[in-house]
Chain A
Amino acid sequence: MKQTLPEALLAAARSPTAGLRFLDRHEQATWLPYREVAARALAVGARLVAAGVAPGERVALVFSTSPEFIDAFFGCQFAGAVPVPLYPPVRLGRLEEYHAQTARLLAVSGAVLVLAESRVRRILGQAVAAAAPRLGCLTLGELPASEGGEPLAVVASDLALVQFSSGTTVDPKPVALSQRAVMAQVAALDSFWPQSSGIEQSGVTWLPLYHDMGLIGCVCAAVTHPGTLTLIGPELFVARPALWLRALSKYRATISVAPNFAYGLCTAKVRDEELAGVDLSAWRVALNGAEAVAPSVLRAFCERFGSWGFRREALTPVYGLSEAALAVTFSRLSEPFTARSFERSRLGEGIAREEAAGRELVSVGRPLPGFALRIANAQGNPLPEGRVGDVLVQGPSLMDGYLGQPEATAAAFHDGWLDTGDRGFVFEGELFLTGRRKDVLILRGRNHAPEEVEHAVQDVAGVRAGCAVAVSYLPEGASGEHLVLFVERARPIGPAGEARFDEAGITEACERAVLRAANLVVDELHVVAPGTLPRTSSGKLRRGETLRRHLAGELLPPVPVTAMRLAGAMLRSRLALRRARRTARKSGGSHE
C-alpha cells in the first residue's frame, strides 16, 4: 500500500493510459495523463518552496474544478505543505457573506498563503486583507520561478489536507487529515470496487473538489488506483444534469458518486432528447451519500433511467463524514438498495421493529474493512442490535482532530470512538439512520449551520428577538430534507401590535430574509406564540427537541397565568355554576 499522496501520484505517473479528463460546458475534453499531472505538480511544488512556504504550513486553495486546482493541490503535496481547499464564490449571490466566511476559514486554518485562480483572485481582496496570510494571495502564475528539484519528503503522519466540516459560517471546524488517514480511506474504497480482470475501473465526478467526496473519494482514489477520472464543474452539473449521465456513457465509466438530491435532480430535469445515444450500462457503482437517502428518489431514478441501461443494482447508499475522511459504511455492491419499514411508535421509543406499514428507511450498509460501528446510549454504553442510539465509529481514516481546537477534538471522541452526532440503529448487521443529535442542516448534500438561517430572521419585524429555530429533516415520502424554521411572534406592543404582526406578513418577510442572507428556500415556516420554543435551563434554544415536539404534535404555547387568564377562569367557573343551577332547576321542574 502506498503511504502518501505524493508517492501515489509518482506511481500513477508511470501508468501509460490513466489520467484526468476535464470537461467544459461544451463537453470538450482537456486530457492530462498522470505523467503530466505529476510533472506540473512537481513544478508548482518547487515554486511554493521558493515562495517561502515551509513544510507543514497551510495553503488555502480557491479554484473551480480545473487542472489548476489539481496543480495547486498536488503542488502542496510535493512541497510538504498542507492544502486547505475553500469554496469559490457563489454565483450571482451576495458577496458579503462569502467575504466574511472566507476570512474566517482562512484565519481558522492558519493559512500562510492563498492560491486562487485569476478570475476569483480579484474579489478575494477583502477576505485576504482581513485574514492577512503571511505570503498574501497569488495565482499559480505569480509564484516565483524555480529551477525545480526533488519533492520534499512527506511521511504518513504528516497532514495531507485540512477540510471544513459543517457549520462553516458560524463555528468552522477544520478537520485535519493525515496522509495515513487519506490513504487508508482510499485503500478501503479501492478494496470495494469489483475486481474483475475484464473491467477497467474509471470514474466521472461533478462533485466540488473542496470537500472529501469529490477530493478524496474521486480524485485521490483515482490517482491511487490509478484509474481515469472525468471531471465536470459542479455548476455545469446543476444547470445541466444530463452532462453527468452523458459523460458516464461516453467514457464508459464504472463508478460515480453523488448525494441524494443529484439523483432527484436528474429525474426531474433531464429530458429524453438530451440522452440521445446514451447507454448507462457500464455504470456498476452509483454511490449515494452525504445526505439522507430517500427511497422514493432511488426508485424514481431507476424507473426513469432503466431504459437507458441503468442497472438497479448499481445504486449503493453509503454513509460517512468529513471527520472520517469520507466513507464509514457501504451497502452491498451487487444488490439493489435495501429499504425496510419500521414501526413508527416503537422507533420513537428507540426500538426498531419491522412493520410493513411503518416508516421506510434505507440501509447504508456495513462498515468498510477495518472500520467498526457502535450504537450507544446517552451514557456512552453500547446498545444491542435493533436499539436506536448515537452512532459512533472507529477506523483507520479518522481525523487527527480539529486543527488548533483541542476542546472540540476532545468532545468529538469518546474512548477512541468518533461521535458522529448522527442517530440510528443496526438491524441484521446493517446501519439505518433515523436522525441527528448534532445541530446541522443538511440540504442538497451541503451542510449549513442553523445559525445562518436563524440570524437571518432576527431583525424581521414581528419576530421575537433571538427566538428562531432552524432544523432540517427528511419527511416520510419526501425527496430530500426539508428546511423548517420556527419563529416566535413578538409580544404585541399596544393595541395596534397584534394587527401589525400578522402571520402571513411575518412568514413572507422571514422567507425573504433567509433567501437573502443564506440563499436557502424555507420549506416549512411556523410562527408560534412567544415562549413556545423549548429551551435549556440556561436559556439556550433546543433545536432537536423543537423538531421532536413539532412532529409529535406537542409544540404548544405555554399556558400563561395572567390577570386576564385568571379573570377568564373565574368567569368560566361562574358560568358553569349558573348552568349547573339552571340544569338542576330544570330537572327539578320536570318532577313538578
Chain B
Amino acid sequence: MGAGVDAVKVVLSEQEILAGVAEVARQHLDYTGAIEPGMRLIEDLRLDSLRLLTLAVEVENRFRVRLDPEEEAAIETVGDLVRTVAGKLALKSERSEEDLDP
C-alpha cells in the first residue's frame, strides 16, 4: 500500500500539506482542477458523501493522523482541512515518538 508518509517527524508547512491534499484529490478523487485553500469541499470540489469519506480516510492515511468527529464538524474548506491536519501534526511532533495512530 505504502501511500503514507513514513514516520512524519518533521512538522510539514501548510503549503506542503495543501500539496498533499491536492495529490490525494488527484489520485483518489479523480479531481483535476486547481485546489485553493478557500474552496469548499462540498460545493466547490463537488464531493458527495462517498468522496468526502474517501478524502477523510486518504488524508488520514497520508499524514498518519486521525481526525476526530468534533474537528471534522468544523471543516468546510480545503484550508480548514489543511489547518486541522497541521494542528494534528504539530501535536504529534510535540509528543515526539509517541504514535497516535491506532
Q: Are A and B bound to each other?
A: yes
Residue B5 interfacial (CB < 8 Å): no
B28 proximity list for chain A (CB < 8 A): 239
B19: shortest Cβ distance to chain A, in Å? Answer: 19
Q: In the complex, A93→B75 CA distance in Å? A: 8
Is B34 engaged at the interface, CB distance under 8 Å to the other chain? no
Q: A119-B69, A516-B42, A516-B43 are in contact. Are A24 and B53 (CB under 8 A)?
A: no
- Indicate with 1 or 0, residue by residue over B44-74, a CB within 8 angstroms of chain A CB atoms: 0011111011111110110000001110110
Which A residue sits closest to B102, measured CB to CB?
A24
- Of chain A, the residue at the smallest CB distance from B58 is A239
Instruction: Give the residue of B43, B56, B61 whose beta carbon is less than 8 angstroms from that of A92.
Output: B56
Q: Which of A24, A94, A239, A520 contacts B48 (CB 8 A)?
A: A520
Contacts of A26 in B (CB 8 A): 1
Q: Looking at the assembled complex, report how far the CB atom of B66 sits from the nearest CB atom of chain A, in whole angstroms.
A: 8
- Residue in A92, A119, A511, A516 with the greatest tally of chain B CB atoms within 10 Å: A92
> Contact between B57 and A25 (Cβ–Cβ < 8 Å)?
yes
| Chain A residue contacts of B47, Cβ below 8 A | 92, 515
Inter-subunit contact B69/A92 (CB<8 Å): no
Is the C-beta of A585 less than 8 angstroms from some C-beta in chain B? no
Within the complex, the shortest CB–CB distance from A82 to chain B, in Å, comes to 26
- In the complex, A120 Cα to B71 Cα: how many Å? 11
| Chain A positions 480-523 with a Cβ under 8 Å from a chain B Cβ | 511-512, 515-516, 519-521
**Interface contact tally, CB-CB below 8 A:** 77
The reply to whether B42 and A520 form a contact with Cβ atoms under 8 Å apart is no
Contact of A239 among B54, B69, B72 (CB under 8 A): B54
Whether a CB of chain B sits under 8 angstroms from the CB of A274 is yes
| Residue B82 is within 8 A (CB to CB) of chain A in the complex | no
The CA-CA distance from A512 to B46 in the complex, in Å, is 8
Chain B: how many interface residues by the 8 Å CB criterion?
A: 27
| Interface check A39, CB cutoff 8 A | no
**Nearest B residue (CB) for A261:** B50
Q: In the docked arrangement, what's the CA distance between A102 and B91, Å?
A: 32
B41 located at the interface, meaning its Cβ lies under 8 Å from any Cβ of chain A in the complex: yes
Q: A24-B102, A515-B43 are in contact. Are A91 and B73 (CB under 8 A)?
A: no
- CB-CB < 8 A to B68: which residues of A? 119, 122
B49 touches A95 (CB 8 A): no
Q: How far is the CA of A89 from the CA of B71 in the complex (A)?
A: 12
Query: With contacts A24-B102, A519-B52 known, is A123 near B57, CB below 8 A?
Result: no
Docked Cα-Cα span, A289 to B81, in Å, equals: 35
**Chain B residues in 8 Å Cβ range of A239:** 28, 53-54, 57-58, 61
Residue in B closest to A90 when the chains form the complex, CB atoms: B49
CA distance A505 to B74 in the complex (A): 29
Q: Is the CB of B52 within 8 A of A91?
A: yes
Q: Are A92 and B41 in contact (CB under 8 A)?
A: yes
CB pair A94 B42 closer than 8 Å: yes
Residues 1-28 of A, flagged 1 when their CB comes within 8 A of B and 0 if not, give 0000000000000000000000011110
Q: A235 to B52, alpha carbons, bound, how many Å?
A: 10
A555 interfacial by beta-carbon distance below 8 Å: no
Pick the 3 closest A-B CB pairs, nearest first: A239-B57, A519-B49, A91-B56
Question: Interface of A with B (CB < 8 Å)?
Answer: 24-27, 89-95, 119-120, 122-123, 235-236, 238-240, 274, 444, 511-512, 515-516, 519-521
B residues apposed to A, CB below 8 Å: 1, 28, 41-43, 46-50, 52-58, 60-61, 68-70, 72-73, 75, 81, 102
